[in-house]
Amino acid sequence: MGLLSIIRKIKRKEKEMRILMVGLDNSGKTTIVLKINGEDTSVISPTLGFNIKTIKYQKYSLNVWDVGGQKTIRSYWRNYFEQTDGLVWVVDSSDVRRLDDCRAELHNLLKEERLSGASLLIFANKQDIQGALKPAEIAKVLNLDAMDKTRHWKIVGCSAYTGEGLLEGFDWLVQDIASRIYLLE
């Protein structure tokens, strides 16, 4: 991160973090955001564009951008890269057939210069489904070890259905971002 962007971040609204949620369609992004925010998750339609939620988390205010993952609108993802502090990549761990697709899209995203400073949280979602791959297996299939060594990342198994793992993931993400952004306090 250049000095200029550090200054810009400090000048931003107090304790604000910008989080971008992406991943293939049907992976559970919207369900995760609503669950974390304590909202009803029983009626969710596929996301046609994007949603934004401001979530108070510990002493921080998270601006969570939840962008639709259907093929047609993946090209819009790039509109949201600017000033992203944390990237959450959500995987449907039971959708074995599309994991190749999932890996290709993720590695494509990681080439993006504007995201090069963002902490990366990978949610291996839908762990409640029998036959879902474990986080370690997902990490292997997605080839996470091949990522640039300077990238801060973590993979966490979760279920948006039961809530399991969600806070573990967000706790890590928020701590990691805080230790980078607010280090000049």
Partner 1 sequence: MAEEGPPPSTQTLDPIAQRKHAAMLERISNHHQSRLHASAARRSASAASPSFDSVAAFLDRFSELRRSIESDLARCRGAAPAAAADICSAPAIKPELEKVSASISDLERLLAENSYFLPSYEVRSSLKAISDLKEALEVANSELLPRKKFSFRNKAPKKESATLVKEIDERKVPDEEKSNLAVVRDTPGFRNEKGAVLVKKFRASEEDEGDFTLANLESCKVYLKGRFRALFVHRLKDCNVFAGPVLGSILIEEASNCVFMLASHQIRIHQATVADFYLRVRSRPIIEDCSGVRFAPYRLFYEGIDEELRVSGLGVETENWANVDDFKWLRAVQSPNWCLIPEDERLGSVNISEVTEQDNDN
Ligand X SMILES: Nc1nc2c(ncn2[C@@H]2O[C@H](COP(=O)(O)OP(=O)(O)OP(=O)(O)O)[C@@H](O)[C@H]2O)c(=O)[nH]1
CA angle 9, 74, 42 (to 5 degrees): 90
* Closest C-alpha among 161, 155, 158 to residue 173: 155
Q: Cβ atoms within 10 A of the Cβ of 169, count?
A: 23
Site string for partner 1, 19-58 (x = CB under 8 A): ------xx--------xxxxx--xxxxx-xxxxx---x--
Comparing CB distances to partner 1, the nearer of 79 and 179 is 79
* Residue 161 near ligand X by CB under 6 A: yes
* Pair of tokens at residue 116: 């090069």
- Checking DSSP bridges between strand 60-67 and strand 50-57, what pairing results, if any? antiparallel
130 is catalytic: no
Binding residues vs Mg ion (CB under 5 A)? 29-30, 47
Site string for partner 1, 105-134 (x = CB under 8 A): --x--xx-x--x---------xxxxxxxxx
CA distance 120 to 134: 18
Which parts are annotated binding residues for Mg(2+)? 30, 47
- Chain residues binding ligand X by CB under 6 A are 23, 25-31, 44, 46-47, 68-70, 90, 125-126, 128-129, 159-161
